[in-house]
Amino acid sequence: MTTAGETAALDACCFIVAGHHFAVESGCVEEILRGGRPTRVPLAPPEVSGVLHLRGRIVPVIDMRRRLRLTADGAAAIHVIIRAGDEWYDLLVDDVLGVQSFPRGRIEEPGGDGLHDPRVGVVADDGHLVHLLDPQRIVQPLFRQRTSPVITHGASHVGSVA
């Protein structure tokens, strides 16, 4: 993931889910919200706990405990809004620690690479492991296989035409 010209350090937004440390590259983070009242979406994948209205967009809320198959007590109430491709997603996490800089040299390959594993790297920091997550890989497994051919259309994506 490193190419020439990139800086030697990776800035990442760190957060906690069920006691574990995770991080996403800070460049893809749009906003961090506390509270919020998601509207539930019947028939949505179980990891999607609802949608939130944010700056004119309808953003799906992904319950990161469910997504990462972790359990914890209490309700997670911090929303990390990230960009994956053209769309925004809201990661519901337990706590946000802030942006931290990790030297790229210290980032290692994650252990398992299951299909549903969103991790792209692991870095040891201050006595614990921080798992680096890739936005696309967080979201991708939630998409079902499409069966019918549909021409992609921009019908409602008014602002997406550059």
Partner 1 sequence: MVNDNREFIDEFLVESSENLDQLDRDLLALEQAPDDPERLASIFRTVHTIKGNSGFFGFSKLGALTHNGEHLLGQLRDGQLRLDDRITGSLYSMVDAVRSILRSIEATGSEGEVDLQDLTSRLAAVAADTREHARAERTVAVDAASLTPASSNAGLAADPRPVLPRAGSAPSAPAIDSPPASSAAPSTVPSPPEAVAPSPPRIEPQVPAAPPPPAAESTIRVDVALLGSIHDLVGELVLARNQLRSLEIEDPAIQAVAQRINAATNALQEVAVKTRMQPIEHLFSKFPRIVRDLAVTCGKEVHFVVDGTDTELDRTLVESIRDPLTHLIRNAVDHGIERPDVREAAGKPRAGRVTLRAYNENGQVTIEVEDDGGGMSVEAVRAKAIARGLVSAEAAARMPDERLLQFIFEPGFSTATTVTSISGRGVGMDVVKTNIESIGGAVDVHSRSGLGTTIRVRVPLTLAIMPALVIRCEGQRLAIPQVAVSELAPLRPDRPDGRIEGLDGNPVMRVHGRLVPVIFLDELLGLRERSAHREFGTVVLLRVDEREFGLVIDGLGGGSVTATRRAAEDIVSLTTIVVKPLGGLLSQIGVYAGATVLGDGDVALVLDPRGLLRAAHVPPQQAEARPAAAASGAAWIESDRYLVCRTSGGRRVAVPLNEVTRLEHYPASQLQPVAGRKVIRRHGGFTPVVDVDDLLGVPAAPTPEMVHLVIVGDTGLAVRQILDVVAAESPLHPHLSMPGVVGSLSLGGVATEVLDLAPPLMRSMAVAP
Least spacing, CB of residue 90 vs partner 1, in Å: 11
CA dihedral 129, 73, 26, 104 (to 10 degrees): 10
Pairing of strands 57-63, 87-93: parallel
**What is the distance between the alpha carbons of residues 24 and 54, in angstroms, rounded to a whole number?**
20
46 near partner 1 (CB under 8 A):
no
9 or 142, CB closer to partner 1? 142
Neighbouring residues of 18: CB distance < 8 A, sequence distance ≥ 6: 65, 68, 70, 71, 72, 94
Cβ distance to partner 1 smaller for residue 106 or 157: 157
Please report, as residue ranges, which positions from 115 to 144 form the binding site for partner 1 (by CB under 8 A): 139, 142-144
Among the listed residues 2, 7, 53, 124, the single contact to partner 1 using CB under 8 A: 53
Looking at 18, 41, 70, 122, which residue binds partner 1 (CB under 8 A)? Answer: 41
By CB under 8 A, is residue 151 in contact with partner 1?
yes
Is residue 39 part of the contact set for partner 1 (CB under 8 A)?
yes
Is 158 one of the binding residues for partner 1 (CB under 8 A)? yes
56 near partner 1 (CB under 8 A): yes
Give strand pairing partners of 10. 102
Alpha-carbon distance of 60 to 30, in angstroms, equals 14
Q: Closest CB to partner 1 among 8 and 155?
A: 155
Question: Could you give the dihedral angle defined by the CA atoms of residues 112, 6, 64 and 44, in that order, rounded to the nearest 10 degrees?
Answer: -100
| Complete edge-to-edge strand list for the sheet that includes strand 87-93 | 29-34, 78-84, 87-93, 57-63, 48-54
Shortest spacing between CB 13 and partner 1, in angstroms:
21
Contact residues toward partner 1 (CB under 8 A) are 37, 39-45, 48, 51-53, 56-60, 87-89, 139, 142-144, 146, 148-151, 153-162
